[in-house]
Structure 1
Amino acid sequence: MAPRLPRPHRFDVYVAAGGLLGGVLLAWLGLGTRSRDYPLTLFDGPWPVLVPLCVTACCELARRTAPRAALLTGTAAICADQVTQGSLATVLMFTDLVYAAVLYGPPASARRIPWITGLLTVAATLVPFAVWRVPEALLIGVVTGIVAFGPAATGWIVRDHRDAAAAAGLRAEQTALLAEMDRVQAVTAERARTARDLHDLVAGHLSAIALHSTAALSIDEPGTSKEALTVIRENSVAGLAEMRRLIGILREAGGGEQEPTAAPTLAGLPALIDSARANGLGVDLEPETEGGGPAAAGPGKVPAPVELAAYRIVQESLTNALKHARPGRVTVALVRRDGVLDVRVTSPYGDRAGPSVPGSGAGLTGMRERAALLGGTFAAGPDGSLWTVHATLPLSPPHHLSPLSTPSPPSEGASE
């Protein structure tokens, strides 16, 4: 089965029909481009011009779909038109074929045609003048330039502008795509940060509520129940306050007028330890961290992002110890050495006899993310009879990292 020829564009059909009808009208009126006594005229009369006219009109139908073939055939037709009285319609359609071959043809043809027509124009100007030595001979080059080189140069200019516009459109699409990717990443990072902060702020209070409520239900002693309810109430109030603070921060990001809430620092570790002790957890803060230790003011002050990450890691470690650790002492140690802040929290490891709270793994994941954001390391796991959480945080974290942003989630989530 023979391949189907591409359908000509509607505008090309209009151009071909208009050129053909115009040429027929000129032939009927007897109007040609040359006189009857022109030396190259081999076919006298107005009607022989219709043959190259019809061929050129047919070439116009393929000016977009097959521009090179149309130009080659049209060149043969314009040459045949030279041995007749000539038709202005044939010449005009040929100039359009040159223009279309540059505009719609392959890039190689678009580059060559202006050079070829330019050389032909120069030759048509110099050769006749050298032979005949009359100024009128220069008109041959002028006509050749108007018919061939002019349309080719115009087509090249239009094609160059069209390619530039297409490249600009592509760059705009790529910029929009990158902007959308940045927006999605920013939204994802903000959601991860909010989830991490929500977990760090509330999980400890809710864990204490769950443990003490379980103890109050399992032990039928008024004193114990009252003590448990007191702890439950204190943690409920504290958790509600933390939730309100977080909601205030989120509203502030949306355009509220509230003053920003100060981020926790290592100077607040004693208060955090006291809160854990009030929840029934035995915690020892090693001497070198008492009174603020690494966070104390002075030339060696710990950067704020590192302080926040260390505080949250200790806070989450105490929450995990409250939920999962066996009875015993929990040790918190923060030591600054060799350009890093070393955070270590140990708690008794093993089967828990009393009530426990199930974990989801979000806590360890959040601690690992906080350390990774600052270019540090994090490890958590059993070490003999102890469960050890160990993080090293560089005191000079990368400047392009923010403690409020989030990296890509780890491929393997840890269990809390």
Structure 2
Amino acid sequence: MVLTLPRPQRVDVQIAVGSLLCGLALWALGLHAQADRPLGGHWALPPLFVLAGLELLRSTRPQFALVTAVLALVADQFTAGNLASVLMFTDIMYAAVVYGTPAAARRIPITSGLVTVALTVVFLAWWQDPQAVLIGVASGIVAFTPAATGVLVRNHREAAAAAKLRAEQTALLAEMDRAQAVSAERARMARELHDMVANHLSAIAIHSTAALSLDDAQTSRDALAVIRENSVGGLAEMRRLIGILRDQSGDLEPAAAPTLDGLGALIAGARRDGLDVALDDARPKDGPKLPTPVELAAYRIVQESLTNALKHASAGRVTVSLAQPPRALTVRVTSPYGDPSGPRAPGSGAGLVGMRERTELLGGAFESGPESSPDGKVWNVFVTLPVDPADEGAKE
């Protein structure tokens, strides 16, 4: 089995080459770190070369480099020594804490501190001389100080990485919030566009079809009158919606949001379009004023229900019923269900989706579908809107 060493980092190569050259220069000048050692000056070169080689592994194999460096430094103590060897050992100790595993980063400072204390105590007991404390000071400078410095640098890097991660997560959440806000605003504007314009266009489509299919001058004049009225009304609604979209003030709601007080005009317009509509408003006359979002949602739901009745309902009466039980507003719209006898406008299903979305945004309940009644089969739309925002899913 061949041991493959990782490729050293560029900075590690620079440190190794620079340290080796400095060590060789000190050796050539005869500047040794210590005197009176058993081995001569030439024996200081092997630890110097070993430590320079270990500098190449300071980032990629820090723990292996540290263990081998300890052995090389111990061997260097029996030679004349080299200051560059000691400095390279301190750098390897520092790198082992910074680039090593979290467990090694915790163990190395504690171990080096214990070794420093142990050397001080041993040499004091052996020499019986206060100068032995200098041995502990030197070992602390060589071993404990770089380890402690490595702990500080590692903690700073981890804190910076954690702060960067939090910043990226915050940016991601902000982008998600922005995307959700844009999506919600687009959906709201789509509902407004559909509710404000669809009924006018449906009336235009139905009456233009009738005018084209019936060869009767009076029918054509009546149809053109309805078409003109709905064209003018639809154009006004479109201009108001465009004004809302171009408004830079941040107020994205219509300046004059429709309320339930305008149901009379809405139903009158539906009657002019050809619907037989009856309004049954059972709300108390002196009751508290409803919140604006509730009134807007109820108005739009009635408007969309009348538009659907105009496009899809068969001949018969359409009934709009309002009631206000405690802490809620209920809206029911029933229309004859069956094959329409006259011309009809195509539908996309967006109206039911919009009504359901409006109801769910206010925490209400929405039901729609065919039902049986004493007058035959009808299409029923029933909505419960909580008056108090804290009441979600209120039912009659």
Same-fold call, TM > 0.5? yes
Whether 1:277 aligns to 2:261 is no
Counterpart of 1:30 in structure 2 is 30
Q: How far apart are the structure 2 equivalents of 1:133 and 1:269?
A: 105
Counterpart of 1:386 in structure 2 is 378
1:337 match: secondary structure: coil
Over 3 Å counting, the alpha-carbon distance change for 1:131 and 1:259 in structure 2 is: closer
Counterpart of 1:231 in structure 2 is 226
1:220 match: secondary structure: coil
Deviates more, 1:355-364 or 1:255-264: 255-264
Q: What is the one-letter code of the residue matched to 1:188?
A: S
Counterpart of 2:6 in structure 1 is 6
Q: How far apart are the structure 2 equivalents of 1:164 and 1:259?
A: 45
TM-score for the superposition, normalised by structure 1: 0.90
Q: What is the one-letter code of the residue matched to 1:42?
A: P
Q: How far apart are the structure 2 equivalents of 1:4 and 1:230?
A: 90
CA contact 1:207–1:319 (8 Å) conserved in 2: yes
Structure 1 position 398, deviation (Å): 4.4
Over 3 Å counting, the alpha-carbon distance change for 1:98 and 1:373 in structure 2 is: same
Q: What is the one-letter code of the residue matched to 1:394?
A: P
Whether 1:138 aligns to 2:130 is no
Counterpart of 1:262 in structure 2 is 256
Q: How far apart are the structure 2 equivalents of 1:199 and 1:59?
A: 74
Whether 1:315 aligns to 2:303 is yes
- Once the two structures are superposed, what CA deviation does each residue of 1:47-98 show, in whole Å capped at 9, x if it has no partner? 1100111111111110011000000000000000011111111100000010
Over 3 Å counting, the alpha-carbon distance change for 1:173 and 1:301 in structure 2 is: same
Matches within 5 A, 1:390-405: 390-398=382-390
Matches within 5 A, 1:43-192: 43=39, 45-192=40-187
- Once the two structures are superposed, what CA deviation does each residue of 1:179-217 show, in whole Å capped at 9, x if it has no partner? 111111111111111111000000000000011111111
Counterpart of 2:315 in structure 1 is 327
CA contact 1:208–1:232 (8 Å) conserved in 2: yes
Counterpart of 2:236 in structure 1 is 241
Q: How far apart are the structure 1 equivalents of 2:77 and 2:391?
A: 76
- Once the two structures are superposed, what CA deviation does each residue of 1:267-307 show, in whole Å capped at 9, x if it has no partner? 1111111111111111000152xxxx46x5x5622211111
Q: How far apart are the structure 2 equivalents of 1:91 and 1:97?
A: 10
Q: What is the one-letter code of the residue matched to 2:258?
A: P
Over 3 Å counting, the alpha-carbon distance change for 1:303 and 1:27 in structure 2 is: same
Over 3 Å counting, the alpha-carbon distance change for 1:347 and 1:215 in structure 2 is: same
- Once the two structures are superposed, what CA deviation does each residue of 1:202-253 show, in whole Å capped at 9, x if it has no partner? 000000001111111111111111111001100000000011111111111x
Structure 1 position 172, deviation (Å): 0.7
Q: How far apart are the structure 2 equivalents of 1:281 and 1:225?
A: 18
CA contact 2:8–2:57 (8 Å) conserved in 1: yes
Q: How far apart are the structure 2 equivalents of 1:377 and 1:257?
A: 28
Q: What is the one-letter code of the residue matched to 1:317?
A: S
Deviates more, 1:8-17 or 1:63-72: 8-17
Whether 1:197 aligns to 2:181 is no
Q: How far apart are the structure 1 equivalents of 2:115 and 2:124?
A: 14
Q: How far apart are the structure 1 equivalents of 2:274 and 2:227?
A: 12
Q: What is the CA RMSD across the aligned residues, in angstroms? A: 1.9
Structure 1 position 314, deviation (Å): 0.4
Whether 1:360 aligns to 2:348 is yes
CA contact 1:28–1:46 (8 Å) conserved in 2: no
Runs of 4+ in structure 1 over 4 Å off? 255-260
TM-score for the superposition, normalised by structure 2: 0.94
Q: How far apart are the structure 2 equivalents of 1:310 and 1:203?
A: 17
Q: How far apart are the structure 1 equivalents of 2:165 and 2:253?
A: 44
Structure 1 position 137, deviation (Å): 1.1
Counterpart of 2:38 in structure 1 is 42
Q: How far apart are the structure 1 equivalents of 2:281 and 2:78?
A: 111
* Correspondence for 2:245 among 250, 260, 264: 250
Task: Name structure 1 gaps, 5 residues minimum.
Answer: 401-416
Structure 1 position 131, deviation (Å): 3.2
Structure 1 position 17, deviation (Å): 1.3
Q: What is the one-letter code of the residue matched to 2:341?
A: A
2:80 match: secondary structure: coil
- Once the two structures are superposed, what CA deviation does each residue of 1:321-374 show, in whole Å capped at 9, x if it has no partner? 001101111000011113221110000110111100110000000001111111
Over 3 Å counting, the alpha-carbon distance change for 1:183 and 1:331 in structure 2 is: same
Q: How far apart are the structure 2 equivalents of 1:360 and 1:350?
A: 18
Deviates more, 1:131-140 or 1:379-388: 131-140
1:246 match: secondary structure: helix
CA contact 2:327–2:387 (8 Å) conserved in 1: yes
Over 3 Å counting, the alpha-carbon distance change for 1:287 and 1:5 in structure 2 is: closer
Over 3 Å counting, the alpha-carbon distance change for 1:127 and 1:393 in structure 2 is: same
Whether 1:286 aligns to 2:274 is no
Q: What is the one-letter code of the residue matched to 2:118?
A: A
